[in-house]
């Protein structure tokens, strides 16, 4: 009963909280309650938090902990971008000549720069462009830059990959799908 009375007194006191911190002064919370229920249950008691600031880590200690890791991770991304195939973009002005009047099948990826799944499928489209070079023309259309074409073809989700043959829409694949799914769709039109 004494522990209940102690906890009630601590809760009713305006200058302290049940966690042993001062309410009126600058609070530095220690998570050690005045009445510990964890001791009765056999659980370890929480005595406080240890917070290590990352600013205290020097660059030398960072490199000694992780010798193979460099802080310049952006260089890897740049190298990967150089190896990827750049798919030509199509716009409102070039849509008619590049897609609708093209000889043979055309793949058009409807995408936006802020779309994560679009960025995931870009390398797959690049591989397909290399694989079917000469048999299939591949283009990408930014829906933010050319919303009229996206609206004309009913694009409601991106990425959407559309296949055109002789200026007619033949098929559409919505979402970031595996390369095998896109290859199967391409093979139908070759």
Q: Are 161 and 126 in contact (CB under 8 A)?
A: no
Distance CA 118, CA 153 (A): 18
- Does the annotation count 118 as an active-site position? yes
- Does the annotation count 78 as an active-site position? no
Surface-to-core class of residue 74, CB atoms within 10 Å of its CB (0-12 exposed, 13-18 middle, 19+ buried): exposed
Of 46, 78, 118, 138, the catalytic one is 118
Q: Any residues with CB less than 8 A from the CB of 21 and at least 6 apart, and which?
A: 27, 28, 29, 30
Other Cβ atoms within 10 Å of 77 Cβ, number: 9
Nearest to 71 by CA among 57, 84, 83: 57
Instruction: Return the exposure string of 21-32: e unless at least 16 CB atoms fall within 10 Å of the residue's CB, then b.
Output: eeeeeeeeeeee
**Which residues are designated catalytic?**
115, 118
């Amino acid at each position: 009963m004494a522990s209940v009375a102690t906890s009630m007194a601590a809760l009713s006191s305006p200058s302290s909280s049940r966690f042993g911190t001062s309410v009126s002064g600058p609070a530095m919370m220690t998570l050690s309650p005045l009445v510990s229920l964890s001791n009765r249950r056999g659980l370890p008691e929480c005595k406080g938090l240890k917070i290590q600031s990352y600013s205290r880590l020097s660059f030398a200690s960072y490199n000694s902990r992780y010798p193979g890791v460099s802080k310049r991770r952006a260089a890897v991304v740049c190298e990967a971008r150089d190896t990827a195939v750049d798919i030509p973009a199509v716009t409102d002005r070039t849509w008619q000549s590049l897609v609708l009047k093209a000889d043979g099948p055309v793949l058009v990826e409807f995408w936006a720069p802020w779309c994560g799944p679009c960025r995931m499928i870009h390398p797959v489209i690049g591989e397909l462009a290399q694989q079917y070079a000469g048999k299939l023309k591949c283009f990408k259309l930014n829906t933010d830059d050319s919303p009229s074409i996206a609206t004309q073809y009913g694009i409601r989700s991106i990425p959407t990959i559309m296949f055109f043959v002789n200026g007619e829409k033949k098929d559409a694949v919505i979402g970031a799908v595996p390369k095998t799914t896109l290859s199967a769709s391409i093979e139908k039109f070759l």
